Amino acid sequence: MQVRNHCLNGLGISVARIDFAINGSVPMHIHPDATQLVIIVEGVVTVGFITPTNVYQKTLNAGDAFVFPIGLLHFAVNSGPGKAIVFSAFSSDNPNLHILTVLLFGNNLATRTIEKTALLERAQIMKLKAQFGGRG
Ligand SMILES: *[C@@H]1O[C@H](CO)[C@@H](O)[C@H](O)[C@H]1NC(C)=O
């Protein structure tokens, strides 16, 4: 292990602090390379993950913990009246981040292809592409 430029790399974990504004959220996303532990420090946060057969969600208060299994689609919403603070740890030093709506509507994948493969209508796709920066 080397400590350089205030970075600690190669230890097999990573850590983040998430500060939620009132009504703030973390959009549906996947970490393909890590399981994630969250611990609520302040506020009320509703978290959940989705499997092919179930939605698992829970409203957490300060001191509560929750785990998002590796590779599963998950989210967090500040569901309390004020701000919220959450600490998060990942079982990898490179968990990676794939945001669902950006994957689908934030690139130049042809609208016709999205119509056929996501089973959505053209008008819906155009609206979502405008929102998430997609072209084509
Ligand atoms: C948060 O959401 C609630 C419910 O939609 C709304 O009444 C309130 O004005 C929002 N607060 C802020 C600061 O956006």
Alpha carbons 30 and 83: distance in angstroms, whole number: 24
Does pTM surpass 0.85? yes
For ligand 1, whether the C-beta of 23 sits within 6 Å is: yes
For ligand 1, whether the C-beta of 65 sits within 6 Å is: no
Residues marked as binding? 29, 31, 74
Q: What pLDDT, on a 0 to 100 scale, did the predictor assign at position 9? A: 78
- In tens digits, what is the pLDDT along the chain, a chain of 136 residues? 444 556 677 899 999 999 999 999 999 999 999 999 999 999 999 999 999 999 999 999 999 999 999 999 999 999 999 999 999 999 999 999 999 999 999 999 999 999 999 999 999 999 999 999 999 8
Q: What pLDDT, on a 0 to 100 scale, did the predictor assign at position 10? A: 84
The minimum-distance atom of ligand 1 relative to the CA of 23 is 1
- Residue nearest to ligand 1 atom 13, measured at CA: 22
Residue 66 CA: distances (Å) to CA of 3, 70, 78, 131: 30, 13, 15, 30
Report whether 25 contacts 76 (CB < 8 A): yes
Helix (H, G, I), strand (E, B) or coil at 1: coil
Q: Are strands 14-20 and 25-30 parallel, antiparallel or unpaired?
A: unpaired
Tell me the fold of 2-96.
Answer: Jelly Rolls (2.60.120)
The minimum-distance atom of ligand 1 relative to the CA of 22 is 13
